[in-house]
Amino acid sequence: MGKIICACGHENPEGTLLCEKCGQPLTEEGKKSKILNMRYDGIAIRSKTRNKSIVDKIWNFFSSVKVGVTLIIINLVAASIGTIFPQEFYVSVSTEEQKAAYYEETYGSLGKLYYELGLSNVYSSWWFQILVGMLAISIIVASIDRGLPLHRSLKNQRVKRHTSFMKRQRIVAEGPVTEGDPSKTLNLIEEKMKALKYKVRRDGNALLAERGRFARYGPYINHVGLIIFLFGVMLRLVPGFYVDESMWIREGETRAVPGMDGYFIENEDFILEMHDNEKTENQELQGVNVVAKNYQTDVKLYKQSEDAVPGQADNLELVEDYSIRVNHPLQHEGFSFYQMDFRLNELKTMKFELTKKETGESLGEVSIDLTNPQKEYVLNDQTKVELLGFYPDFSGFENGEPQTKTPDPNNPAFIFKMVTPEKPEGEVSFVAIQQTIEPNGDNTYKMEFQSVEMRDMSGLTVHKDSTIPILAIGGVIFMLGVAIGSYWNHRRVWVEQLEDGTIRLAAHTNKNWFSIKKDLNALSEFAHLPRYIDQGEEDKEADGEGKEKEGDSTL
Amino acid sequence: MSLIDISGNLLFVAFIAYLVGTFFFGGAIKSSKPDGAAKRADKWGKLAIIITIIGFIAHLSYFITRWIYTGHAPVSNMFEFTTAFGMFIIAAFILIYYMYRLTALGLVALPIALLIIGYAAMFPNDVDPLVPSLQSYWLTIHVITAALGQSVLAISAVAGLLYLLKDTDPNAKTKGRFWLEAVLYFMVLVIGFILATVTFRVIGYEADFTYVDKEGMNQEITYNMPAVFGMNEYVLLTDDVLEPFVETAPVINAQKLTTVFWSFIFGTILYILIRLITRRSILSMLHPLVKKVNLNLLDEIGYRSVLIGFPIFSLGALVFAMIWAQEAWGRFWGWDPKEVWALITWLFYAAYLHLRLSKGWEGNKSAWLACIGFAIILFNLIVVNLVIAGLHSYA
Ligand code: HEM
């Protein structure tokens, strides 16, 4: 690799813009410009020095800020497209055909197109994930590309800089001191700059005051945080790091917790409370009558003892008694239980009485647990009711056979065989809500409906996310990084006293010129320095307002 | 007087103070004669900022009294959130003012806050009960920090707008001039919305409809403006009111569309009147006012406010939002439109910061970017809340 030898004799690596030692501009562009481009202090960044192999080309592609910004914008646009119509996971239908139909019916042909292009599931599409991946690569490559050389050059700064470096800073001052003894000036400057919390170094007749250098590391720290965060998000794809299960559990039921071996949970009670306020204007506008106040499931969490048979709900030890509410999940050993959903008033048991039609005389009562119906209910040694068929969610007949829509007891129907001393061979009857059919003609006995018991059901989700600590660390590092990079800035003031006592000063900050000027005002007054000028301002005036600044090719 | 009435009056006081403050800021930066103009500017400017601070204290007291009355941070519906947003914009303005002492900022910041509060006042101001998912102190922390971040970011648009007002030549036919006038026209439209709402409210206009929503359910709706657009399969129940001209598809909320329509009509008439009476564009009226501001300084203030606002916004709108979502639903991110638009805002400002790494994106372009950023924030506040989120109607 070629070297660039500066007039001062220092050997710089190829691609250097400002001599590492004395700061002289090394490029034609630099020599001609009025104000030097101080980004990365003119060091050679990798992407500017190599461009031969394919690896170099890929590296250079990803390290470019132009590419980085383009990737940010593309991600932004892609994310926004996903909000035009609701995403599939907000649509409460399950099958593909239903989804397709939903988008077409609700949003017309645009909705259909949206669905067919896969935009209704943008965020888990492969191309969206590739876009995020490319953004991550870009962050990593750009940070390494610039961060390491920048660190090296910031560490090896010289105090004394070349005249052409000094004169080409945005803020410059040159001239004799305005009053007092010029031989004391450097001491005065040192004193004042130290009072302003600058670190001051001197080298002969030159002085460098520097403050807030660590702020230059802010962007690199925040990029590291972002990468850690994205890494954490990716880890969730690894099995075991992430459990996300949901379960329905009825009041009074005890069920094994999915994804959490050896644990059982019991639903003691589901509670729904409503606000009792008068209807507000917003409720009126939105057509909402009452607003929910609390969704709560009182649960007991159990653990199986060591020697128990897996999946068997015996030998349970109580570990926690808790009321799960929205915003107040039950947490145990990294697992969390969230109140997600509920269903009120599910039928629990139905009671019938076996009665003789004519007299209304009762032979006894049968209580059917709808989630756990028995094959037969024996009333005495001559009387029993056999359950020949059970249809929890009866939806009509097909080819003479009763059908059930779902396994949930929403609309239970039964086929009973009633065995009585009078009819020992049994009488068959089909019983559903509001409907009785007697296939063999006129029965003597009937199952008379008595009462139902209802109960509520809670929908809980069970989560375990071992990536959370990684995400949290990433988040904290990111926040630290942005705060450091945004709330502090790197200010430098170079001063040189020439043979004749003239002061030459140059100042630079990576942002916040307003504050460094305040520092300089205080300094000039204290050390009686010549007035500084802001060559950036002059630029503006000279070019005339409104003229766009030249683009800069170092991106 | 109950606490909630006191609270309402305090908000009114704040509004008046900002209105008066705006004129003082106007007086402060106007310069006619060179003699002592700087001194006069100083005096007016000082008064202006004092009035602004008084207004802010009243505004903050409104916020606190309402909080005490309702028992939760008053950021839970459109009225509450938007008035709070106005308050934070003033807070951010005061902060930046004391950093840079640039009076001219007030001339844009205060009117923007006024428009926002005026807009908020058009929404019902009853206290709404909180659904379970909103009953969390994380929500309070999240919303307040995010709004504060957005407000500081908004100041970069204030500086950007000032920059453009000065930088754009009102006499040269450029794209910049066209778009800047369009931005100013948009602000007039917000006044149009306020005028339309107030006008029809004073008249007491009401029209009841039934309609069929997209789930096929029968619903009722009340229009407070003459219904130009009717809901899907609407039936008009009130006599002697305007029958809608157009029936819309079920996914479109024709009532809101009607409001947009009338705001547009009122705003446009107002704009045309302004043009006819003054015989000038709004830009050429404002341009001379800002003659003396320093473009470099404005550019720096714009950049600085993004730098200050970006970390606060990241913390509030992303970090705290994720913590809350994790606690409420067990997932820190759910791709819900409001979340996605917070992410978009964040990505946009990240792009702004990176674009500034190149010199070509300082100054004029950067000022435009700041305005676009603010437009995204407003989009998230208005469109996402009222239109997109309405499609999902989540708790
Ligand atoms: C969403 C993603 C990103 C975020 C939130 C982010 C954040 C930041 C922030 C806050 C700064 C400081 C800016 C300033 O102080 O003005 C910065 C600087 C920077 N970023 Fe990013 N960044 C992201 C993506 C990228 C990408 C994709 C690249 C790739 C090219 C990149 C390259 C840089 C560079 C080169 C700097 C300047 C560093 C310096 O001044 O020393 N960033 N970033």
> Average per-residue pLDDT in chain A?
86
Q: What is residue A547's predicted lDDT score, i.e. its pLDDT?
A: 36
Q: What is residue B394's predicted lDDT score, i.e. its pLDDT?
A: 31
A425 & A448 share domain:
yes
pLDDT of A500 > 50? The answer is yes
> Average per-residue pLDDT in chain B?
88
Q: Would you give the DSSP letter of residue A554?
A: T
Mean pLDDT on A482-508: 93
Q: Would you give the DSSP letter of residue A279?
A: P
CA distance B157 to A503: 40
Structure tokens at A18: 């400002």
Strand partners, A417: A386, A428
In-domain check, residue A276:
yes
CA distance A215 to A212: 6
- If one counts the domains in chain A, the total is 5
CA distance B184 to B270: 12
Query: Order of strands, edge to edge, in the sheet holding B235-236?
Result: B218-223, B207-212, B235-236
Chain B environment of A292 (Cβ under 8 Å): 131-132
A464 & A333 share domain:
yes
pLDDT bucket at B351, cuts 50 / 70 / 90: very high
- First vs last C-alpha separation in chain B: 33
pLDDT of B222 > 90? The answer is no
Chain A environment of B296 (Cβ under 8 Å): 513, 534, 536-537, 540
Classify A462 as helix, strand or coil.
strand
pLDDT of A247 > 90? The answer is no
A466 & A497 share domain:
no
- pLDDT digits over B183-217, tens only? 999 999 999 999 999 999 898 888 888 888 777 77
Q: What is residue A8's predicted lDDT score, i.e. its pLDDT?
A: 84
Please judge whether B129 and A487 are an interchain contact, meaning their C-beta atoms are less than 8 angstroms apart: no
Q: What is residue B388's predicted lDDT score, i.e. its pLDDT?
A: 64
Query: pLDDT exceeding 70 applies to what percent of chain B?
Result: 94
Strand partners, A355: A362, A446
A373 & A503 share domain:
no
Q: What is residue A62's predicted lDDT score, i.e. its pLDDT?
A: 92
CA distance A70 to A245: 38
Instruction: List all residues whose CB is within 6 A of at least one atom of ligand 1.
Output: A 65, 68, 71-72, 135, 138-139, 142, 146, 150, 216, 219, 222-223, 226, 482, 485; B 347, 350, 353-354, 356-357
pLDDT bucket at B7, cuts 50 / 70 / 90: very high
A463 & A326 share domain:
yes
Q: Provide DSSP, B334-347.
A: ---HHHHHHHHHHH
Q: What is residue A313's predicted lDDT score, i.e. its pLDDT?
A: 66
A147 & A169 share domain:
no
CA distance B316 to B328: 16
Q: Which of B124, B167, B296 comes nearest A536 by C-beta?
A: B296
Please judge whether B222 and A284 are an interchain contact, meaning their C-beta atoms are less than 8 angstroms apart: yes
A376 & A463 share domain:
no
A274 φ, ψ (degrees, to nearest 5): -115, 150
Q: Which of A284, A327, A487 comes nearest B133 by C-beta?
A: A327
With contact defined as beta carbons under 8 Å apart, do B352 and B309 qualify?
no
Mean pLDDT on B85-111: 94
Q: What is residue B283's predicted lDDT score, i.e. its pLDDT?
A: 92
B278 φ, ψ (degrees, to nearest 5): -90, -15
Pairing of strands A533-534, A171-175: antiparallel
A308 & A387 share domain:
no
Mean pLDDT on A390-401: 86
With contact defined as beta carbons under 8 Å apart, do B55 and B18 qualify?
yes
In-domain check, residue A219:
no
- First vs last C-alpha separation in chain A: 22
A385 & A293 share domain:
no
A424 & A352 share domain:
yes
With contact defined as beta carbons under 8 Å apart, do A140 and A230 qualify?
no
Q: Where are the domains of chain B?
A: 3-170+281-386, 173-280
Lowest mean pLDDT among A81-90, A519-528, B304-313: A81-90
pLDDT bucket at B395, cuts 50 / 70 / 90: very low
Residues composing chain B: 395
Higher pLDDT, A313 or A84: A84
User: At what angle are helices A126-155 and A65-81 packed, to 10 degrees?
Assistant: 150
pLDDT bucket at B304, cuts 50 / 70 / 90: very high
Other Cβ atoms closer than 10 A to B75: 22
Query: pLDDT exceeding 90 applies to what percent of chain A?
Result: 29
* Amino acid occupying residue B314: S
Higher pLDDT, A6 or B345: B345
Please judge whether A87 and B335 are an interchain contact, meaning their C-beta atoms are less than 8 angstroms apart: yes
A402 & A442 share domain:
yes
Nearest to A390 by CA among A357, A431, A356: A431
Nearest to B306 by CA among B159, B97, B110: B159
**A109 min Cα distance to partner chain B (Å):** 12
Higher pLDDT, A80 or A261: A80
Q: What is residue B41's predicted lDDT score, i.e. its pLDDT?
A: 62
pLDDT of B30 > 70? The answer is no
Mean pLDDT on B276-293: 88
Q: Which domain holds residue A171?
A: 163-212+489-554
Please judge whether A486 and B310 are an interchain contact, meaning their C-beta atoms are less than 8 angstroms apart: yes
Q: Which of A66, A72, A280 comes nearest B350 by C-beta?
A: A72
Chain B environment of A340 (Cβ under 8 Å): 329
In-domain check, residue A224:
no
pLDDT bucket at B392, cuts 50 / 70 / 90: very low
Chain B environment of A336 (Cβ under 8 Å): 330
Chain B environment of A106 (Cβ under 8 Å): 214, 250-251
Structure tokens at B247: 């029936």
Interface of A with B in 466-505 (CB under 8 A): 468, 471, 475, 478-479, 482-483, 486-487
Nearest to B96 by CA among B314, B311, B368, B305: B305
Please judge whether A280 and B344 are an interchain contact, meaning their C-beta atoms are less than 8 angstroms apart: no
Mean pLDDT on A110-125: 86
CA distance B17 to A102: 52
pLDDT of A275 > 70? The answer is yes
pLDDT of B31 > 90? The answer is no
pLDDT of A456 > 50? The answer is yes
Interface of B with A in 104-123 (CB under 8 A): 123
Interface of B with A in 177-236 (CB under 8 A): 214, 219-222
Closest ligand 1 atom number to CA of residue A482 = 10
pLDDT of A400 > 90? The answer is no
Q: ipTM of this predicted complex? A: 0.91
CA distance A69 to A142: 12
CA distance B341 to B335: 9
pLDDT bucket at A545, cuts 50 / 70 / 90: very low
What are the residues whose beta carbons fall under 8 Å from the beta carbon of B210, sequence distance 6 or more?
B218, B219, B220, B221, B234, B235, B237
Mean pLDDT on A534-554: 49
A179 & A249 share domain:
no
Query: pLDDT exceeding 90 applies to what percent of chain B?
Result: 55
Mean pLDDT on A457-465: 88
Q: What is residue A553's predicted lDDT score, i.e. its pLDDT?
A: 31
In-domain check, residue A274:
yes
Lowest mean pLDDT among A472-476, A503-507, B5-9, B288-292: B288-292
CA distance B75 to B88: 12
